């Protein structure tokens, strides 16, 4: 099946080639570590390789090919100019370059910090965390450092039952015990919160609007109760898209805020990356931020490592620069009014879809939604199917499935977030498919039209074949 390579042999073949003399090989790599055998890699012709990867790229589904309503993930379209600028030679620099030669990049980072401060209503920002979850972890380390600096031993972090799974994980990783409280009408139950708060509480973590897409209207009372208990209020910024330019977490009383740049400020993501989760804090927490901090002394931009109370380093180098740059370009492109417009349109789109679909799927909480909403797939069960079957059937319509089975408090949850970048036409196609499926859901039927059929998820986990070597060994 595989032929020997026919192209000019690159260095790697030169090293391993049997007919090179020992001295010849020694010129390149010391004998001790030089290859004795040809590397076991498949030999293919160029057209075979090109066709393989082109075919794979065509199997891929992305926001550039279709509607992607993955709730909580804000899979919005990224304008191509953002990608183009991120590819400029001038910004693809080496992290070990001296600071005097990267002033432009440092300025971009500094200005992004300023813009995020303004959007979040916070006093300082670190750009270092590589994802929202990493931002949460950073925020929890800052929370620890803050309470320790006051000689207080606070061991608990409280979360509502709508919290994203990364929240308890981050709190736990930072050494806290997690306390979950119930919701009432899709919002934090204030009474349960007040009962849970004590002198052991380090922080309350909240997403607003929450993962049901509902704005926590008691947020000011929540902030007061949390602060009265001596605890900090943490903002999970994954849903900032719904309110940016309209309301600021800092003004609501949040002390720490993370931004998911890859969600709210576009930058394509998925499959675990790439991302950036900057964290903003109120001034009293500033000294705990990670090092280095990008600063400006009116003459030059520089990296400040001189922060004795800092929680230290949490990322290699200075954060995920390419993502930071894309978010910077996106914010500059839209401007303040543009960001506000994003929030308004994302809310309008979600409510349009909610109104169309609530006649066909139960809508557990009746409140007005922000940028996403959650339906229940419970009635599918009466037809012997489940939300999972619905998700797979949507794939056969050429559509990406919404988020399913999250948040956990909704039975057979279906979480839909259209984002502001979708047209009415695209949303209508999805609504049409959802209505058709609601009438005739088929158990274990789909997907039939996708490049891969039903995936054997257990088999894939138990029988991983991740490399050519593993493939050969399995054969
Ligand atoms: C996506 C998300 C997170 C985690 O963010 P990552 O950037 O994926 O690590 C946290 N909370 C909510 C509500 C989210 O949607």
pLDDT of amino acid 268: 76
98-115 per-position pLDDT tens digit: 999 999 999 999 999 999
The residues of the chain that CATH labels 3.90.1150.10 are 348-459
Q: How confident is the model at residue 13 (pLDDT cuts 50, 70, 90)?
A: very low
CB count in 10 Å sphere of residue 249: 28
Query: Percent of the chain beyond pLDDT 70?
Result: 93
229-288 per-position pLDDT tens digit: 999 999 999 999 999 999 999 999 999 999 999 999 987 777 666 899 999 999 999 999
- Return contacts of 377-384, CB within 8 angstroms, 24+ apart: 377/404, 377/411, 377/412, 377/413, 377/414, 378/411, 378/412, 379/438, 380/412, 380/438, 380/441, 381/412, 383/440, 383/441, 384/443
pLDDT of amino acid 469: 84
pLDDT of amino acid 226: 98
Q: How far apart, in whole angstroms, are the C-alpha atoms of residue 86 and residue 82?
A: 6
d(CA 71, ligand 1 centre) in Å: 11
Q: Is 128 in the pocket of ligand 1 (CB under 6 A)?
A: no
d(CA 234, ligand 1 centre) in Å: 14
The answer to pTM > 0.85 is yes
pLDDT of amino acid 6: 41
Whether 318 and 99 have beta carbons less than 8 Å apart is answered as no
Pocket test for ligand 1, best of 128, 160, 166, 265 (most atoms within 8 A of CB): 166
Atom of ligand 1 at shortest range from CA of 163: 13
Tell me what the pLDDT averaged over the chain comes to: 92
Q: How confident is the model at residue 1 (pLDDT cuts 50, 70, 90)?
A: very low
pLDDT of amino acid 471: 85
Q: Is 268 in the pocket of ligand 1 (CB under 6 A)?
A: no
Q: Which residue has the higher pLDDT, 360 or 6?
A: 360
d(CA 265, ligand 1 centre) in Å: 14
Residue 3 has pLDDT above 60, yes or no: no
304-328 per-position pLDDT tens digit: 999 999 999 999 999 999 999 999 9
Residue 474 has pLDDT above 70, yes or no: yes
- The CATH class of 80-334 is alpha beta
Q: Is 269 in the pocket of ligand 1 (CB under 6 A)?
A: no
Residue 4 has pLDDT above 50, yes or no: no
Q: How confident is the model at residue 26 (pLDDT cuts 50, 70, 90)?
A: low
Angle value at C-alpha 411, between 408 and 417, nearest 5 degrees: 70
The residues of the chain that CATH labels 3.40.640.10 are 80-334
d(CA 228, ligand 1 centre) in Å: 28
Q: How confident is the model at residue 453 (pLDDT cuts 50, 70, 90)?
A: confident
d(CA 258, ligand 1 centre) in Å: 10
d(CA 350, ligand 1 centre) in Å: 19
Kind of pairing between the strands at 413-416 and 403-404: antiparallel
The domain 348-459 is classified under which CATH number: 3.10.290.10, 3.40.50.300, 1.10.3720.10, 3.90.1150.10? 3.90.1150.10
Q: Is 277 in the pocket of ligand 1 (CB under 6 A)?
A: yes
Q: How confident is the model at residue 19 (pLDDT cuts 50, 70, 90)?
A: low
Pocket test for ligand 1, best of 159, 213, 236, 372 (most atoms within 8 A of CB): 236
109-166 per-position pLDDT tens digit: 999 999 999 999 999 999 999 999 999 999 999 999 999 999 999 999 999 999 999 9
Nearest CA residue ID for atom 8, ligand 1: 132
d(CA 165, ligand 1 centre) in Å: 8
What's the rounded mean pLDDT across residues 54-79?
A: 91
């Amino acid at each position: 099946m595989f032929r020997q390579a026919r192209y000019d042999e690159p260095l790697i073949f030169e090293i391993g080639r049997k007919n090179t003399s020992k001295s010849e090989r020694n010129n390149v790599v010391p004998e001790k570590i030089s290859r004795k055998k040809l590397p076991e890699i498949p030999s293919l012709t160029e057209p075979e390789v090109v066709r393989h990867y082109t075919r794979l790229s065509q199997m891929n589904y992305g926001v550039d090919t279709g509607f992607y309503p993955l709730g909580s993930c804000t899979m919005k379209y990224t304008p191509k100019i953002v990608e183009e600028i991120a590819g400029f030679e001038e910004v693809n620099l080496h992290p070990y370059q001296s600071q005097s030669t990267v002033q432009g990049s440092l300025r971009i980072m500094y200005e992004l910090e300023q813009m995020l401060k303004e959007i979040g209503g916070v006093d300082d920002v670190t750009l270092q965390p590589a994802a929202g979850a990493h931002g949460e972890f950073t925020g929890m380390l800052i929370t620890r450092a803050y309470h320790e600096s006051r000689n207080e031993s606070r061991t608990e972090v409280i979360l509502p039952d709508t919290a994203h799974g990364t929240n308890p994980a981050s709190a736990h990783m930072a050494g806290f015990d997690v306390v979950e409280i119930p919701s009432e009408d899709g919002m934090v139950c204030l009474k349960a919160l007040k009962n849970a708060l004590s002198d052991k509480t380090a922080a309350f973590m909240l997403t607003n609007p929450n993962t049901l897409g509902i704005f926590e209207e008691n947020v000011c009372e929540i902030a007061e109760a949390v602060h009265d208990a001596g605890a900090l209020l943490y903002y999970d910024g994954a849903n900032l898209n719904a309110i940016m330019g309209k309301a600021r977490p800092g003004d609501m009383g949040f002390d720490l805020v993370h931004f998911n740049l890859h969600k709210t400020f576009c930058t394509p993501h998925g499959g675990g990356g790439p991302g950036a989760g900057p964290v903003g804090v109120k001034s009293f927490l500033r000294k705990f931020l990670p090092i280095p901090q990008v600063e400006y002394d009116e003459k030059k931009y520089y990296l400040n490592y001189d922060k004795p109370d800092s929680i230290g380093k949490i990322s290699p180098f200075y954060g995920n620069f390419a993502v930071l740059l894309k978010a910077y370009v996106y914010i500059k492109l839209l401007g303040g009014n543009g960001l506000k417009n994003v929030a308004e349109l994302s809310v309008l789109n979600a409510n349009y879809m909610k109104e169309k679909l609530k006649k066909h799927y139960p809508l557990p909480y009746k409140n007005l939604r922000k940028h996403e909403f959650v339906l229940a797939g419970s009635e599918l069960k009466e037809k012997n199917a489940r939300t999972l079957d619905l998700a797979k059937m949507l794939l056969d319509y050429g559509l990406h499935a919404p988020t399913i089975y999250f948040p956990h408090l909704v039975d057979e949850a279906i979480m839909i977030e259209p984002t502001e970048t979708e047209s009415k036409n695209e949303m209508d196609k999805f609504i049409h498919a959802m209505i058709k499926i609601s009438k005739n859901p088929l158990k274990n039927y789909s997907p039939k039209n996708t490049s891969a059929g039903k995936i054997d998820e257990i088999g894939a986990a138990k029988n991983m074949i991740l490399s050519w070597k593993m493939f050969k060994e399995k054969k």
